[in-house]
Amino acid sequence: MEENLDKLQDALGYHFNNVGLLKHALTHPSFSNENGEPKEASNQRLEFLGDAVLELISSVFLFNRTPVLQEGVMTKVRAALVCEPTLAEAARKVNLGDYIILGKGEAREGINNRDSVISDAFESVIGAMYLDGGLEPAEKFVKTFVLSDIENTGLYRDAKTVLQEYVSQNKMELEYRVIEETGPCHDRFYRVQAILNDKAYGIGEGSSKKKSEQGAAYQTLKQIKAETGYVFKIY
């Protein structure tokens, strides 16, 4: 475990003074519940703190951005920057899902790389980093993994709308196809793929078809931008 955490810390670009904080940030509620530990033994409280730290850092970043952005635009862009799919994408850059500590049942289901799980863990790591070293390392981390590609990330805000406009302008056909649907009625999990002119594009996932379609549209916009150089206006 210690060796694995060393590898993770290398990827994070920050080595903890108190490695226990990092372990805490990686502990999914299913593990603490399974072992009869109190709720605070999971990463949920650190996630709460990390969410606040992330919002502060991204708010200051957008406030200082030039050209100056108006309040309404900053609110919308910030929402895109800190939403579940974009945080999950940032978490995958450091393979965070490989280190999440799950209960046995959840581990068998392989949920450690679901957007909801790794985005929560990502925020928990930010919270742990803030407690361990203060705002400076947390800010450096967020700028590196979340704020370094604001043009792409900002696309998520209106991804379905932007993609539909592009499709209409280019006289293409768009379909969102459910490729996975699992879980009980009260806890469904969907994976959806965008299909353009019968060609498979981006995949999105989430607890609803709507959320999954939004993620699929976002990934598709990024793919189109990479393949064609087309620039989508985000604000």
pLDDT at site 226:
87
What confidence tens digit (pLDDT) does each residue in 194-221 have?
Answer: 999 999 999 998 888 988 998 899 889 9
pLDDT at site 76:
83
Structural domain for 176, as ranges: 157-228
pLDDT band at 8 (very low <50, low <70, confident <90, very high): very high
The lowest-confidence range among 9-23, 134-148, 154-168 is 154-168
Question: Domain check: are 133 and 176 in the same one?
Answer: no
pLDDT at site 3:
62
Question: Domain check: are 135 and 192 in the same one?
Answer: no
Distance CA 35, CA 30 (A): 9
Contact status, residue 201 vs residue 213, Cβ threshold 8 Å: no
Segment 13-29 shows an average pLDDT of 96
Question: Domain check: are 64 and 113 in the same one?
Answer: yes
Question: Domain check: are 164 and 219 in the same one?
Answer: yes
Question: Domain check: are 97 and 173 in the same one?
Answer: no
pLDDT at site 83:
85
Question: Domain check: are 113 and 95 in the same one?
Answer: yes
What confidence tens digit (pLDDT) does each residue in 34-49 have?
Answer: 888 887 889 999 999 9
Question: Domain check: are 61 and 99 in the same one?
Answer: yes
Instruction: Decide if 234 is inside a domain.
Output: no
Question: Domain check: are 30 and 140 in the same one?
Answer: yes
pLDDT at site 152:
64
Give the residue numbers annotated as catalytic, written as ranges. Answer: 51, 123
pTM of the model: 0.76
**Among 119, 148, 177, which residue terminates a domain?**
148
**Residues with Cβ within 8 Å of residue 168, at least 6 apart in sequence:** none
Check pLDDT > 90 for residue 138.
Answer: yes
**Among 148, 175, 192, which residue terminates a domain?**
148
Question: Domain check: are 48 and 115 in the same one?
Answer: yes
Instruction: Decide if 30 is inside a domain.
Output: yes
Check pLDDT > 60 for residue 1.
Answer: no
Check pLDDT > 80 for residue 87.
Answer: yes
Distance CA 25, CA 19 (A): 10
Residue of 227, 82, 232, 213 lying closest to 160 (CA atoms): 213
What confidence tens digit (pLDDT) does each residue in 94-136 have?
Answer: 999 999 999 988 777 778 888 889 999 999 999 999 999 999 9
Check pLDDT > 70 for residue 154.
Answer: no
Could you give the C-alpha distances from 175 to 16, 179, 202, 217, 224, in angstroms and in order? 46, 12, 11, 10, 16
**Among 129, 148, 167, which residue terminates a domain?**
148
Average pLDDT, the chain: 89
What confidence tens digit (pLDDT) does each residue in 168-191 have?
Answer: 999 999 999 999 998 888 778 899
Higher pLDDT, 72 or 23: 23
What confidence tens digit (pLDDT) does each residue in 56-86 have?
Answer: 999 999 999 888 889 988 888 888 888 888 8
Residue of 79, 81, 130, 121 lying closest to 98 (CA atoms): 121
Report the number of distinct structural domains present in the chain.
Answer: 2
- Give CA 30 to chain center in angstroms: 20
Instruction: Decide if 235 is inside a domain.
Output: no
Question: Domain check: are 94 and 173 in the same one?
Answer: no
